[in-house]
Every structure is written in structure tokens, then in C-alpha cells.
Amino acid sequence: MSTQLNLGAPYNGKETLVISIDAGASASAVCIAHLQPGVVPRLKYVMEWPNGEGESKVPSCIYYDGTGMARSFCAETRDEFIESKVEEFKLILNPPSMTSSTVAGSSSTNAATAEQVALPILPPNVSIVKVYADLFTYLIDNAQIWFQETSFGGDDIWRRLYPSAMIVLAHPDGWMETQQNVLREALTRAQILNTEGTGGRRLEFVRESEASVHWAMQVNNTSLERNSAFTVVDAGGSTVDIALYVVDSVSPRLTLREVKTSDSLQDGGIFVTRAGEKLIEAKLKGSRFAGEEYIAEATGKFERETKRKFTGTEAWAYIKVTGGEESDGNVARGRIKLSKEELKQTFEGSMAQITASVERQTQFGEVKAKHMLVVGGYGESSYLKNVLREKYGPQGIQIVSSDEPSKKAVAEGAVIWLVKRLVKRLVVARSVRSTFGIALVYPYNNSNEEHLSRGHIVLPDRTKGVRGGWSTIIAKDTIVNVDHLTTMGYTRLITEPSALQVFEIELFAFDGSDTTPRWCLDAYGNLLPSFRKVCTISADLSPLQNILVPRSGAGGVTYWEVSFQLGISFGSTSLNAKVLWTEQGRKCEGPASIVLGAIRSAEEV
């Protein structure tokens, strides 16, 4: 199964493979594009999986034995019955910022219960990184077999291009550097990414809502006007990402700008399914069909059929429980009957959060959405679309969905995003999701009580300073062009020229409500509440030896000073940085590394 990209012209870059992996909470998929100079790119969706019966998506599920060894994957697990089954593990990575009131629990009878949002428990000796590494290995191994068997010259193409293939992973909008680090480490352990040379450059991240926008622009013929706005609702298995975009231009090419920080809700379709499972369990209680196998079978039918087809208008829905015509308790002729009101209740907790977010993401200042793109597996729900249509249609917002199965939106959209980025960008500006900054040293003031309580340090120029101050680099919700570098000037003082080696600085994020925090560390160097370490930025400063300036400090002590800038890209889908300086009137730049912390436990993610 392949789709031709509408790029307006053939691809003109270097021959390469682009491989998109969509590791969803309930299902996973892989999409591949073989880019050839002079040829209009086509996407190929992997359609053959072991025991998959021609499905494009397979369950995100792994069976582990007692030693922590993965034994069965995805669709293969349908024929297995092992207690250490791991599924819905994507929920483990969701940060606290994505925990909605649905998850936290509410006095409302419509809110999800704590049991509904229970996180999966991983088997002994199995970490979340191992789970993802095992899944990625399985997906890529089978994608390779399928590509080689379905592509002319597939063996040769894979052999030549896979070592330098570009891997793109889509993830919830609410995931940030910590979650990206888990995925990157898993790909490395799976030997999909190299740990040496240029291997790290093969990986790109894209937000799920942005990938879905690219997919929707590909398959829909929605007419967009310059300066018009639209909302995208990417309703997936575990999360719902909702974003607001403005059309910057339509000619000679379409470009979009994110208007505000998108919402990422832990209110996806699996929570509707869990609520449906509870309803089915209550219906079967007391009958001879109350066993786990009957509940699981009926829940599967609810997931595949009832949840998707229910419109909110039909009085009753029926779910087959047995293969025969037996009757017992609430089971009549092998079926249970669910009322319209009961079915609506399975959606209500999720829909309450979605509509509250849509309210925020349809208007910002003078910007008001004219269209709403609804995509994703959960987005195929007729009831979800009808609720949005009834609520926002009267406000002049057109609900747009596709005849194409939008469960493919993330995997295909991620490839489209990367290919279009290589040719011409669609999204040209994004919103910053947190306030970023650094710890700084304040000049010591012996009449300041805070300074006295914190103590001081002596700097190379013999002046005193106080550690732990906060300096904002860029504020949350700032709209940044994707190519923009946010720069910070630094002056480094050293006691010997030979000490000019590696410059390192820790980048922190602030997610609190205070707009002007003064401190980020306490007197003992610990992070204060609402602050978190993002990464360490490291740069080799030895090329700056020629711009060292000798200075004389207190008491005639000689020290050396060097001034430079650190530039960080906050508008890209993952952080990157470089060091900038001027030498004899010439602007120079060098690389800077983003070093993320080691992953030690699930609690850190």
C-alpha cells in the first residue's frame, strides 16, 4: 500500500530511506519512503506482520518470560496467555503536566477513576527503555522483511541505504527532552541508531499533532486562506493533542505558524475502552458469562466496533458475547444490550477534557479557527465528531475529517513532515512549552539577607558571588521561528590559558506560575520546586584561544577573559545548540553538544 506525496515537484536531494515509527499506546505502525532524485516520493505502509492478517497497525504488546526475555510481540500475542503481558506502556512516560482532571479523579461520576488510569506494571528485570528497545527491534526487523519482499531491488536498496536511513519518531505534544531521551536510548540499545560517527543525526522527533497536520494537508482538499486559522484535534489511544495554527502563506507554498502552546491530554481512546470494559463487566456479573475470556472478547468488540460506530443518536447498541444464542442474566440470545445513556457515559470523562481544551485552542486574541481537523484512531469515533460538530458548528467552525482511515495519520504524517522539511517546511514557527533558563551567580551583597544565608564564592577576578540565581532565556508560550537561534552572551574567566577547554552549562526548565523567579537552586545547590534539569550543553572552547584577553584583577592577579555566545534553537522539534564568536571581525561558529542525563528509573520520566 503506497501513497504519492504532493510536493509539487520531484525530490531533488540525496537518495535515502525515511522510516517512521509510530509506537502508540494501543497499536504501532511503520511507514517507509524511498527518496530518489528526480522521482516524486511515495510512502509505503508496512502491511505484513506475523499473525497480523494484512493489518497496517499491530497491537503494542509484548509477552515476557520469567527472566525478562521478550518471547512474543504485537499480533503474535493474541495466541498467547502469559501473565507478564506488557501493554499500554506508553502511559508510563507521560509527564505530570499531561495528567488531566480525568486522570487525577473527580467528585463527578463522569470522571475517570484511579483504577481506569492505573499504569502498567513492568515485569522484573524489564525497564521502560528495554520495552521500547524490544518493540523497536521487532518493528524494524519485520519492516525490513516486508520492504525487501515488496520493493523492486529491495534487498540492495536496504543494504545500501539503511545504515544512513533517517528515523523519525512522532510523540505526544506534551513529551519533552526526558521522554525523547528514553526513545533515543531505546533506539540505540536496539542498534537502530549508531553510537559513533554521525549516527545521532539520523533521528528526528515530531509532535503528533504536527505530524497529523501534515497528513491532513496531504489527504484533504481543505481550502485555506492566508491569515486564516484552524484547530487540529489528534485523538489517539492514550493522548489527545490539540493545537491552533495560522496560515502564514498559501503561495508559492503553504506555511503554518503555531499560535500558542498546544494541549496534550491523557484522555485518549483507551480510557473510553476501559470505561466500556467496566460497563460490560457489570452487565455480565452474576451470569455464567462473567469470566475473563467473555469480558475480554466483548471488550474487544466494543473497542473495534461499538466505540467507533456509536453516534449518540441510536437508542441501543448490541455486543455479541457468545458464539451461540444462549441467554443468562443480561445476556439475551448471546448478546448484551447497552443503552444510549450508558454508552455516552463511557465517553463523558474524556469528552469533558477534550471540549475544555478545544475551547482554549479555537481562539487566541484576534485569531479564531474556521476549521477543525479531527484525526487519529479515537478521532474516527462518530460520537466524538458529532459532539464537536454540534458544539462548534453553530460557531462557524467546520469539522473536517477524512475518508482515509486517520489511524494512519501519525505514521504517514511523520514521514511527510520529514520529507517536506528536506524540501520545504510547512510549519515555520512553534510555541515554546516551558520557560527555559540557567543558574547564574549574583554579585555578592553583604547587606542582603538572602546572600548572607546562602554564603558566597570567590571568582577568578577575586570578586565575590552567590550561586543559585535564575536567568530566563526564553519564556513559555513564546512563538519562535524554526530557524531562530536564541543567543546568550558569556564571558569566561580563567586563571590559565590552558584552562580554556570544555565549556559546560546546565539548562533548566521552569513550569511554575511565578513569572519572575529569582532563584532556581537552594543554598545547598538543590533544584527548587517547579524547576527541572533539561540537559547539559557542552562546547569545546579551544578554538577560541586567539581571542583570549589578559586582565589584571584585585591584588594584581592576572587572569584571562574570553567572550562568546551560545545559541540554542527552541523552535525545532528537539533542542540543538552551537557556540558563536567573532575573531578578527569574522563571525565563527562551532558545535555544541546536548547531553541528556542517564535514565535510572521510571519515576524520572
**Distance between CA 171 and CA 391 in Å, rounded?**
28
Q: What is the DSSP string of 505-550?
A: EEEEEE-SS-SS-SBSB-TTSPBPTTEEEEEEEEEE-GGGGGG-EE
CA separation for the pair 247, 259 (Å, rounded): 10
Q: Residue 99 has what pLDDT? A: 61
Considering the domain architecture, whether residues 391 and 329 belong to the same structural domain is answered as no
Confidence band, pLDDT 50/70/90 cuts, at residue 407: low
pLDDT above 60 (res 603)? no
Contact 206, 243 (CB under 8 A): no
Q: What is the pLDDT of residues 580-593, one digit of tens each?
A: 999 988 999 999 99
| pLDDT at res. 411 | 76
Domain assignment present for residue 214? The answer is no
C-alpha cell at 187: 533506539
Q: What pLDDT score does 271 carry?
A: 93
Residue 418 reports pLDDT greater than 90: no
Give me the domain span that covers residue 593. Answer: 435-604
Task: Clarify whether residues 306 and 251 are in a common domain.
Answer: no
Q: What is the pLDDT of residue 115?
A: 43
Residues 476, 461 share a domain = yes
User: Long-range contact list for 544-551, CB < 8 A, 24+ apart?
Assistant: 544/500, 544/581, 544/583, 545/497, 545/500, 546/583, 547/581, 547/582, 547/583, 548/497, 548/500, 551/461, 551/493
Which helix (H) or strand (E) covers residue 43, if one does? strand 42-45
Q: Give CA separation, 214 vs 219, 301, 399, 588, in Å.
A: 9, 31, 17, 36
Mean pLDDT of 92-120: 55
- Domain C-terminal end among 347, 372, 401: 347
Which tens digit of pLDDT belongs to each residue from 421-445? 666 667 888 999 999 999 998 888 8
Same domain, 594 and 557: yes
Say yes or no: 52 and 185 in one domain: yes
The pLDDT of residue 7 is 58
Q: What is the pLDDT of residues 215-274, one digit of tens each?
A: 877 766 566 788 889 999 999 989 999 999 998 887 767 788 899 999 999 999 999 999
In a domain, 73, yes or no: yes
Looking at the structure, tell me whether residues 336 and 195 fall in a common domain.
no
pLDDT interval class at 339 (50, 70, 90): very high
Write down the mean pLDDT value for the chain: 85
**Residue 486 domain-assigned (yes or no):** yes
Does a structural domain hold residue 330?
yes
Q: Which helix (H) or strand (E) holds 248?
A: strand 240-249
Would you say residue 234 lies in a domain? yes
Residue 541 maps to a domain: yes
Q: Domain total for the chain?
A: 4
Query: Which of 399, 424, 449 corresponds to the end of one domain?
Result: 424
- Using CB atoms within 10 A of its CB, is residue 334 exposed (0-12), middle (13-18) or buried (19+)? middle
pLDDT range class, residue 529, cuts 50, 70, 90:
very high
Query: What is the band of 95 on the pLDDT scale with cuts at 50, 70, 90?
Result: confident
Read off the pLDDT band of 601 (50, 70, 90): very low
Radius of gyration over every alpha carbon of the chain, rounded to an integer in angstroms: 27
Q: Which three cell numbers stand for residue 237?
A: 489511544
CB 573 within 8 A of CB 204: yes
The Cα–Cα gap between 464 and 461 comes to 9
pLDDT per residue as tens digits for the range 30-56: 999 999 988 888 888 898 898 877 778
Strand positions, DSSP E, 250-322? 255-258, 263-265, 316-320
Q: pLDDT at position 2, please?
A: 59
Say if 408 falls within a structural domain: yes
Interval 273-295: pLDDT, tens: 999 999 999 999 888 888 888 88
Instruction: Indicate whether 274 belongs to any domain.
Output: yes
Say whether both 462 and 540 belong to one domain: yes
Q: What is the C-alpha to C-alpha distance for residues 88 and 256, in angstroms, rounded to an integer?
A: 33
Select, from the ranges 131-135, 407-411, 544-548, the one with the highest average predicted confidence (pLDDT): 131-135
Cα–Cα dist 483/576, whole Å: 11
Same domain, 337 and 365: no
Distance CA 134, CA 502 (A): 36
Same-domain pairing of 494 and 572: yes
Of the residues 313, 347, 381, the one at which a domain ends: 347
509 with 549, same domain: the answer is: yes
Same domain, 69 and 181: yes
| pLDDT > 70 in the chain, percent | 89
Q: What share of the chain is helix, strand, coil (3-state, %, to 5)?
A: 30, 30, 35
Longest dimension (CA), the chain: 99
* Co-location of 549 and 508 in the same domain: yes
